Amino acid sequence: MDAQLKILGPEFSTFVRSVMIACEEKGLNYRYGMKVNDQQVKLGDETHLKYHPYGKIPVLILEDGRSICETAAIIRFIDNEYPGYELFPTDLFARAQVDQWANLIGIYIDQAFVRKFLLEFLFPKGEDGSVRMDKVEAAIPEVNRAIATLTKQLDGQDYMCGDQFSAADIMLAPMLDYLARHPKGAELLAEEVKLLAYLERVRQRPSCQKVLI
């Protein structure tokens, strides 16, 4: 594939990673980072706001300059536009299920795993840069609820929406991978045999091996 796509956003972002995995699944050529046309873009600056009205990453910028924001929409576009492994099933109800789970993961699972829990460790906002352990403790019930939600959904199937790896797994993989790599997250996942087996299955995919490093 010759397409030279640009993903606006740093590679450590979970949502950027999801878009990278989608590109890998399709065998697409892509770059990532916070530069557009050799100009550094800052989160929320004027240039960024032209691409995303709320100053979020990722944004997918096409070769002709057109762009798409919001991770689930980007992944859907990539799937519709490019040949290769299909990230959504063809059956309309099954497609809606993948959309449903991509949204649930992009909103609620992200809040529980990433925004309220992991970011407390990665960007500590306590006095003198300390981790706000009260916030971490307060976040744990939501992490556990998210783990239970995902475990229930995985009952009797290999992936989030059946036996095929889909866009829903692409949304989840970077978040779950980060949670499992963090010592405190690993503690919360320690007894979650089904979810850990799922994570290992997903990590084995060549696309994820390239991105989840």
Ligand X SMILES: N[C@@H](CCC(=O)N[C@@H](CS)C(=O)NCC(=O)O)C(=O)O
Based on the shown chain and the rule CB under 6 A, indicate whether residue 57 belongs to the binding site for ligand X.
Answer: yes
Q: Which of 6, 7, 15, 198 binds ligand X (CB under 6 A)?
A: 15
How far is Cα 48 from Cα 163, in angstroms, rounded to an integer?
38
Task: Please name every residue paired with 29 in a beta bridge, in sequence order, or none if there are none.
Answer: 4
| The binder of ligand X chosen from 31, 40, 43, 210 (CB under 6 A) | 43
Euclidean distance between CA atoms 139 and 144, whole angstroms: 9
Q: Is 118 in the site for ligand X (CB under 6 A)?
A: no
Structure-block tokens of residue 190: 């320690």
Residue 48 CB neighbours (<10 A): 21
Rounded to 10 deg, the angle between the 92-104 and 167-181 helix axes is 30
Two tokens at 55? 């100053």
Q: Can the peptide bond before residue 124 be classed as cis, meaning omega within 30 degrees of 0?
A: no
Could you tell me if 212 and 17 are in contact, meaning their C-beta atoms sit under 8 angstroms apart? yes
Judged by CB under 6 A, the residue of 47, 70, 111, 196 near ligand X is 70
The stretch near ligand X (CB under 6 A) out of 52-60, 81-89, 92-100, 157-165 is 52-60
Binding mask 153-172 for ligand X (x = CB under 6 A): --------------------
Q: Does 82 bind ligand X (CB under 6 A)?
A: no
- Tell the smallest beta-carbon distance from residue 166 to ligand X (Å): 16
Q: Which is nearer to ligand X, 13 or 166 (CB)?
A: 13
Q: Which is nearer to ligand X, 114 or 143 (CB)?
A: 114
- Quote the least distance from Cβ 72 to ligand X, whole Å: 6
Q: Give the H/E segment covering residue 8.
A: strand 4-8
Please report, as ranges, the residues that interact with ligand X according to CB under 6 A: 13-15, 43, 55-57, 70-71, 106
